[in-house]
A and B are shown apart, each in its own frame.
Chain A
């Protein structure tokens, strides 16, 4: 890996390479460049995960033609696919070094061992939602209990916007979460469940299930689960699996026409 990155920097395949470096005992994202080629010896995969592709979009926004190399776990790759589709990065300018994020057998939508949660505490199991559950587990609760459990989780929200800020595929200039007509301002908790549902709706066809939002949530709201559910519906209704390839999202609004075509109805499971 390190030799390949060195070669890329030296022969100009990439102008810079985003990876990780251990700094005073902490694995931090680091930008490697030709001028300090010896630093590449310290390039590591690192146990902590940052959205390197989001940093790449910020760099490309300043210098559109720059060639960026980056370390890509499975989730980074999915995020890149979405960013290409939405014209946030030009695939011709991006080279990746792919790394296996889990020690072994990645699933198609690779679950990362990094995101394995500790077992939920007794009170959370009783009134909230265990972050380790799957969408189908939640369905088992029945409607009224499901609502009260989600509301418990949302009530903890301290409106940090961390879920949006850390999201590798959140790049809108104007965010619905800051739209006064949609979500009220100035109070804690924010307007619930509207705040979280507005974001969930926007994650349809966008979320690549990297789990960085949940990882950044100060109050352990099981956001990943919420967006998994939304994307289950997208998958059922539109037959679209976000981040898996280069096909346009059904919610694509780039260009002149909006196409929002559901897949043939007989194939669609009834979405809950």
Chain B
């Protein structure tokens, strides 16, 4: 039996409420507001209180998928990443780096956004980087 309360930040709106994930045996059992957090002072909205539900959803993607003849086939990381890398390299070689676009995300972390734009600029070689803040 392992039980821990892990501090985190809500990933719904831009308020950034502090919360705790109640983890029992490797599964998040509930979400609690962090009492002493400067943003939300121990309160949450309906979305925050239920943050764990989308994480635990059976609908989560669990394997890389590659579409073959119009249907998704489960695959492993090496293959999915190799296919992706090959296709991108092919497009860049044929049409130039600006024929590739990248949509980074207002949902992933700063570190991941940094890496994503670095990928577009340094690896692909394009400034076609945007995200959906406009939407």
**Which residues on A are within 8 Å of B, measured CB to CB?**
15-16, 18, 23-24, 26-31, 33, 48-50, 55, 58-59, 62-63, 66, 158-162, 165-166, 215-218
Contact = CB atoms under 8 A, between A and B. Distances in A.
Contact of A166 (B3, B32, B37): B32
Contacts of B3: 16, 18, 31, 55, 59
Which label, helix, strand, loop or mixed, suits the secondary structure of the A interface? mixed
B44 A62 contact: no
B128 interface: no
Contacts of A58: 22, 24, 29-30
A40 to B, nearest CB: 15
A29 B30 CA distance: 14
A160 B44 contact: yes
A160 B45 contact: yes
12 contacts: A24-B7, A27-B36, A28-B34, A30-B5, A48-B42, A59-B3, A66-B1, A158-B45, A160-B48, A162-B49, A166-B32, A216-B42
Given A28-B20, A165-B49, 13 more contacts: A28-B5, A28-B34, A30-B5, A31-B2, A58-B24, A58-B30, A59-B1, A59-B3, A160-B45, A215-B35, A215-B42, A216-B43, A218-B44
Interface string B6-33: 0100000000000010101100011011
A27 B5 CA distance: 12
A248 B122 CA distance: 69
B43 A62 contact: no
Contact of B35 (A16, A31, A50): A50
Contacts of A16: 1, 3
Contacts, number: 76
Contact of A159 (B1, B25, B46): B46
B34 A218 contact: no
Nearest to B46: A160
B1 to A, nearest CB: 5
A58 B22 CA distance: 9
Given A23-B7, A31-B3, A31-B5, A59 B46 contact: no
Contact of A31 (B4, B33, B49): B4
Nearest to A114: B35
Nearest to A47: B36
Contact of B46 (A26, A50, A161): A161
A149 B2 CA distance: 46
A197 to B, nearest CB: 19
Interface string B31-72: 011111100101111101100000000000000000000000
Contacts of B37: 26
